[in-house]
Amino acid sequence: MRILLPHPVSSSLLAFLLGSALSFGAEPSLQLTPVAPANASAVYRPGDKITWRVEPLNDEAHVLKSGSFTVKQGGAKIIAQGNLTFGPEPALITTSLSEPGTLLAEVTAPQESGTTTLKASNGAAVEPAKLAPSQPAPADFDAFWKSKIAELSAVPANPVLEKGDSGVPGVDYWKITMDNIRGTHIQGQLARPAEGGKFPAVFIPQWAGVYPLDKKWVTDKAKDGWLVLNILAHDLPIDAPKEFYTEQANNALKNYTAIGNTDRETSYFLRMFLSCYRAAEYLSQRPDWNGKVFLATGGSQGGLQSFVTAALFPKVTAVIVCVPAGSDNTGYLAGRQPGWPGWKNNAGSEPEKVMETSRYFDAMNFAARVHCPTLVGMGLSDVTSPASGVFAAFNQIQAPKEIVVLPEGQHQNINNAHAPYYKRANTWSAALVKGEPAPVEPNPAAQ
């Protein structure tokens, strides 16, 4: 599965549509919006009334007359459900929650004419600052990762750089390969301004899936003054034909997140996470790093790896992530929906071994070891990185931090719902590249 985080585009933030619900022209749509939320971030106090307005946006050819809804606590436990009738006035869904948690409201409505069932979702959070991990970190979590870094350190990095054309005036570009544990490799791309001596560094790990790297992901940043390193999550060439990645995704790397998942020594994530450590170490050892600013940033799986990098490599000075994945792998123990990569769903015939392994690769356990300013964007309607797990991870960060709560935000940037996060991320990046402190603006309602 390829999880994309596209750049924001101009679109209304009011109409929130899920998947096939996005429609224009001759098709109707379904709108689900909060009514008088506690604040702009849809964060409430225990016992507050939480209401959503459900409005079909019909046309002459298609009319939505009825629908059904569910409200799930923690994305898992249904606490309200029922039917809706659409008339002259919007239908309402009203509920409340007496304890810290998150709510996900989901509505479906069949078209009277046509075969498409429209869907919409929206979220809310109740006292999210009190959401805690479903399990503590393993007692030997730090010792395990210390031993793995020692294993990596015994393997020379052997960086090999291949100069290429950046396609951008004033920007230098290279492909890079380094050695990793057990005969594997790290493959990525590097860019920097052509003029100047030392630069702030940014490390960019990738979201989930099997695909090539886009040169613009480093050249755009380098054009802004950064020394940039961007790596694949896999030991693959970064610019092979599309067919190559399709073949890998369908065969050797099919469901790669489940490879070796019964043991922390064989999990696919072990090599991936150590790739991040080695990449960060290499970047910090370059003579063109200014030794002051080191940003780790990414989305989804890239957000998970950014937490890992900051936790294991203390020279990281700031983290900026959106919809970080891999948090709260054992969330079901607290009645919450675990998100990607779905360790429980891939547990097979050895669930105890798999879930024990998952604890060593849980984003929230790494987040607890992050000690630099951190910006997190999260979607209350995200079912890939459920809000409860992202809040629980955010709450563990031991540093100045800011969270951008996106009530209509799904995992992807549908309808530009991630725009508030991008705005803050751009503000942070603009300050950091100039050597200024991270402009942390805490969200009192969510912290």
Q: What is the pLDDT at residue 115?
A: 65
Could you tell me if residue 445 is inside a domain?
A: no
> Does residue 308 share a domain with residue 242?
yes
* Phi, psi of 439, rounded to the nearest 5 degrees: -80, 65
Instruction: Tell me which of 118-122, 174-178, 275-279, 370-374 is least confident.
Output: 118-122
Please tell me the total count of domains within the chain: 2
> Does residue 219 share a domain with residue 147?
yes
- Reduced to 3 states, what is the DSSP secondary structure of residue 67? strand
Could you tell me if residue 178 is inside a domain?
A: yes
> Does residue 229 share a domain with residue 111?
no
What average pLDDT does this structure show over 292-301?
98
Could you tell me if residue 2 is inside a domain?
A: no
Using the CB atoms, write b or e for 146-180: b if 16+ within 10 Å: eebbeebeebebebeeeeeebebeebbbbbbbbbb
Is there a contact between 386 and 124 (Cβ–Cβ < 8 Å)?
A: no
Range of the domain at 240: 141-433
> Does residue 257 share a domain with residue 389?
yes
Could you tell me if residue 30 is inside a domain?
A: yes
Helix-helix angle 301-312:268-285, to 10 degrees: 60
> Does residue 310 share a domain with residue 170?
yes
At 263-279, the pLDDT tens digits run: 999 999 999 999 999 99
Could you tell me if residue 287 is inside a domain?
A: yes
d(CA 84, CA 93): 9
CATH of the domain at 357: 3.40.50.1820
Q: What is the pLDDT at residue 41?
A: 75
> Does residue 399 share a domain with residue 356?
yes
Predicted confidence band of residue 87 (pLDDT cuts 50, 70, 90) = confident
What average pLDDT does this structure show over 200-223?
98
Predicted confidence band of residue 13 (pLDDT cuts 50, 70, 90) = very low
> Does residue 55 share a domain with residue 161?
no
Considering only CA atoms, which of 205, 333, 329 is closest in space to residue 267?
Answer: 329
Could you tell me if residue 220 is inside a domain?
A: yes
> Does residue 105 share a domain with residue 215?
no
Is there a contact between 191 and 224 (Cβ–Cβ < 8 Å)?
A: no
Could you tell me if residue 247 is inside a domain?
A: yes
Instruction: Give the pair of three-digit tokens for residue 315.
Output: 């020279």
CATH of the domain at 34: 2.60.40.10
* Phi, psi of 319, rounded to the nearest 5 degrees: -130, 135
Q: What is the pLDDT at residue 5?
A: 33
Could you tell me if residue 96 is inside a domain?
A: yes
Residue type, 17: L
Residue type, 380: L
What average pLDDT does this structure show over 40-64?
82
Q: What is the pLDDT at residue 23?
A: 29
Scanning the structure block, which residue is given the tokens 């294991």?
312
Scanning the structure block, which residue is given the tokens 């356990």?
365
Considering only CA atoms, which of 35, 222, 205 is closest in space to residue 124?
Answer: 35
Q: What is the pLDDT at residue 35?
A: 86
pTM of the model: 0.92
Average pLDDT over the chain, rounded to whole? 91
- Reduced to 3 states, what is the DSSP secondary structure of residue 23? coil
Predicted confidence band of residue 60 (pLDDT cuts 50, 70, 90) = low
Domain boundary among 85, 103, 128: 128
Please state the length of the chain. 447
